[in-house]
Amino acid sequence: MNPLLAGVMLATIWCAGALVVLYMRTKAFGVRQLHSRPAGDARAGVRYAFTQGMAPQAKESVRMNPLSYLAGMLYHTGIFAGLALLGLKLSGLGTPRVLGIVALLGATGGIALLGKRMFKAHLRGISCPDDFVSNLLATGFAALAGITCFLPSFASLWLIETIALLIYAPLGKIRHCLFFFPTRYHFGAFFGRRGVLPPTA
């Protein structure tokens, strides 16, 4: 087996394993037992949190920052395209160029957000080095995934970068790929239970 592919495999196992450990550690904090009577439905709140609650019109923060939202959406779509390409590559199914274009667009989103983080003082103020490392690794991953679709000679570099990304992911803020879900769940359950979400009007 190609040593790089083996490396990606191992890094994937590490990443998944480490995320599981992180998740278990948060689970170890225990569930909060609730005694008050619900006014609404926690499950409806959770459903809302993962559906309409994520729509741009649900949040003032998105309405006020449409460009950041767009860049973020692009970025995440690009990363998922990169992951899809990785899966195809590992299964020996080739690297379709349309996915490559999506990944490249995603990388521009990542670069835009990196620029924002570097040049907007307030955003820099709430950032730590991890934010920059995480962005560079993920942006590099999407960019190289896209480039490889057009210039196959970049494949090795892409796989090396992939290994770095997978190793780093659970160590820094990319762990939000996991913690997004419980967070959103608890958000929905809290507001759902109290009868605040889904909104009445």
Partner 1 sequence: MSDVDELETRLEALTEADFQRGLEVFRSKLKEAEAAFLNACVHCGLCAESCHYYRMDPVLENIPAAKLETIAAVFKRHFTTMGKVAPGLVGARSMDKDMARAWVDAVFGRCSLCGRCSLNCTVGILLPRLFRAARAALGAMGLTPPDLQATVDTALKHGNNMAITREDWVETVQWIEEELQMETGDPEARLPLDKHGAKILFTVNPREPKFFPLSLQASAKVFWAAKEDWTLTADHGWDLTNYGLFNCKDEEAGLITQNLVDAMARLGCETLVIGECGHGFASARWEGEEWLKQGFPFKVMSILELMDEYLRDGRIKVDPAKHPKKVTLHDPCNLVRHGGICEAQRRVLRASAADFVEMTPNREHNFCCGGGGGQLAMGRYKARRLNSGGMKAQQIRDTAAEVVVTPCHNCVDQLGELNKEYKLKVQIKTVAEIVADALVP
Give the residues lining the site for partner 1 (CB under 8 A).
Answer: 22, 25-37, 39-40, 49, 53, 59-62, 64-65, 68-69, 72, 117, 120-123, 125-131, 133, 171-173, 175-176, 179-180, 182-184, 186-188, 190-191, 194-197, 199-201
Considering the complex, what minimum distance in angstroms separates the CB of residue 70 from partner 1?
A: 12
Task: Give the SS3 label for residue 7.
Answer: helix
- Tokens found for residue 156: 């090795």
* Displacement of CA 86 from its chain's centroid (Å): 16
The residue (of 6 and 20) whose beta carbon lies closer to partner 1 is 20
Considering the complex, what minimum distance in angstroms separates the CB of residue 53 from partner 1?
A: 8
The residue (of 53 and 82) whose beta carbon lies closer to partner 1 is 53
The residue (of 128 and 151) whose beta carbon lies closer to partner 1 is 128
The residue (of 2 and 61) whose beta carbon lies closer to partner 1 is 61
Q: How many CA atoms lie within 13 Å of 140's alpha carbon, on the beta-carbon side?
A: 18
- Tokens found for residue 162: 């992939």
Considering the complex, what minimum distance in angstroms separates the CB of residue 165 from partner 1?
A: 16
Cα separation, 174 vs 193, whole angstroms: 30
Considering the complex, what minimum distance in angstroms separates the CB of residue 153 from partner 1?
A: 33
**CB-based burial of residue 87 (10 Å sphere; 0-12 exposed, 13-18 middle, 19+ buried)?**
exposed
Residues 6+ apart with CB under 8 A from 43: 189, 192
Considering the complex, what minimum distance in angstroms separates the CB of residue 78 from partner 1?
A: 16
